[in-house]
Amino acid sequence: MTASDTQQSILIVDDSAFEQRMLVDLLSELPYKVSVAVNGLQGYQLALAQHPDLILLDVRMPNMDGYTACRLLKANPVTEDIPIIFLSGADADEERIMGLSIGGVDFVAKPFSPGELAARIQVHLKLARRANRQRAAPAAAPAQGRPAEADPDAVLVNAAKRLIADNLASLPGLADIARSVGTYREKLSQVFREQTGMTVFAYIREARIRRGEELLRDTDIDVQDIALMIGFNNAGNFATAFRERLGVTPSAFRQAIQHKKTPHG
């Protein structure tokens, strides 16, 4: 095995030619193979084709931004384990939280220290190698290799489901949900129905009821607060939807659960 065979690969996704050159110059001094994409869509496609060991992902780009690309990468079993470091000229807390919450392992503000970025890359590559070894630990079984390539429509629906689950309290409209996973309203509606047998709105309603059921069962949070946490305007609307789905009110459901947990005799 040659040195080039063992070189780890890094994919740079950035629309700025200046940033690309700077990152390529930095990484070329280190033992990494480097490839470049100019927007999120191209980056997603290159990641599927090349399966890099790590991705440096800019946030604001034309055609598809970094957040959308990350959602798709994390929704695809072929690429979900690739560590993603976000790079952004904006250092607002909201952007950092967004990047980390959708699957990024790190968030580095521009302009960055080359030495610090190199150190962060090295750390996350080591962590990824360790995680890969642990996943492969039951080595008595034959090696499985990479997951089979996922159906693009399934990836789209999976990404939308994750976004919905993470934002039940204040979901954007359908057009914005679609845009956040790199598609448009009509396409998402079509593939969602094909993949799940449900409309997006029916799925959202079901997801809210399921989450409400979990919170009623596992916490002591007030019913009104649960309603707001999962996206209902008030406890009355939540109770109506809950009763339609499960045949009992949220309060009655919780009382029944507590009764089962209470020792008798």
Can you list the pairs that 159-164 forms with residues at least 24 positions away whose Cβ atoms lie under 8 Å?
Answer: 159/71, 159/72, 159/74, 159/75, 160/188, 160/192, 160/200, 161/203, 161/207, 162/71, 162/74, 162/75, 162/102, 163/71, 164/203, 164/204, 164/207
Are 210 and 91 part of one and the same domain?
Answer: no
Q: Does 125 fall in a domain? A: yes
Mean pLDDT for the chain? 90
Residues 212 and 99 in one domain: no
Domain end (from 85, 102, 135): 135
Question: What pLDDT, on a 0 to 100 scale, did the predictor assign at position 167?
Answer: 94
Taking only the tens place, the pLDDT of each residue in 61-106 is: 999 999 999 999 999 999 999 999 999 987 778 899 999 999 999 9
Is 127 in the same domain as 34?
yes
By percentage, how much of the chain surpasses pLDDT 70? Answer: 91
Question: What is the rounded distance in angstroms from the CA atom of residue 156 to the CA atom of residue 69?
Answer: 11
Which residue has tokens 């070894």?
133
Nearest alpha carbon to residue 163 among 191, 194, 200: 200
Query: What distance in Å separates the CA atoms of residue 138 and residue 126, rounded to the nearest whole number?
Result: 20
**DSSP reduced 3-state for 239:** helix
Residue 246 has a pLDDT of 94
Answer whether residue 144 is part of any domain.
no
Domain count, the chain: 2
Q: Are residues 158 and 113 part of one domain? A: no
The answer to whether residues 86 and 196 belong to one domain is no
Per-residue pLDDT, 1: 37
Whether 190 is in a domain gets the answer yes
Same domain, 126 and 241: no
Whether residues 124 and 244 share a domain: the answer is no
Whether 159 is covered by a domain: the verdict is yes
- Tell whether 146 is covered by a domain: no
DSSP letter, residue 243: H
Residue 240's CATH number: 1.10.10.60
Q: What are phi and psi of 65, to 5 degrees?
A: -80, 175
What's the pLDDT tens digit per position in 128-168?
A: 988 888 776 665 444 555 566 678 999 999 999 999 999 99
Least confident of 1-15, 51-65, 188-202, 219-233: 1-15
**Domain end (from 135, 160, 187):** 135
Region 99-114: mean pLDDT is 93
Residue 163 covered by a domain: yes
Average pLDDT for 114-137: 88
How many Å apart are CA 180 and CA 177, to the nearest integer?
5
For residue 175, being part of any structural domain is answered with yes
pTM tops 0.85, yes or no? no
180: confidence class by pLDDT, cuts 50, 70, 90: very high
- Tell me what pLDDT residue 132 has: 80
Q: Quickly state the pLDDT bin for 2 (edges 50, 70, 90).
A: very low
Contacts of 122 (CB under 8 A, 6+ apart): none
Pair (130, 170) in one structural domain? no
Q: What's the pLDDT band for 108 if we cut at 50, 70, 90?
A: very high
Beta bridge partners of 34: 10
Answer whether 10's CB lies under 8 Å from 121's CB. Answer: yes
Indicate the residue among 78, 109, 135 that finishes a domain. 135
Same domain, yes or no: 193 and 257: yes
Does residue 64 share a domain with residue 160? Answer: no
Evaluate the CA torsion angle 227, 232, 236, 242 in order and state its sign. Answer: negative
**Amino acid 93: pLDDT:** 86
CATH of the domain at 92: 3.40.50.2300
Are residues 122 and 156 located together in one domain of the fold? no
Does 225 score more than 70 pLDDT?
A: yes
pLDDT at residue 13, rounded to an integer:
97
Q: What is the residue range of 81's domain?
A: 3-135
Let me know whether 129 and 166 are in one domain: no
CA-CA-CA-CA dihedral for 176, 180, 183, 185, to nearest 10? -20
In 71-146, the DSSP E strands lie at: 84-88, 106-109
pLDDT at 240 (0 to 100): 96
Q: Give CA angle at 237 (231, 243), nearest 5°.
A: 110
d(CA 223, CA 250): 7
Residue 89 lies in a domain: yes
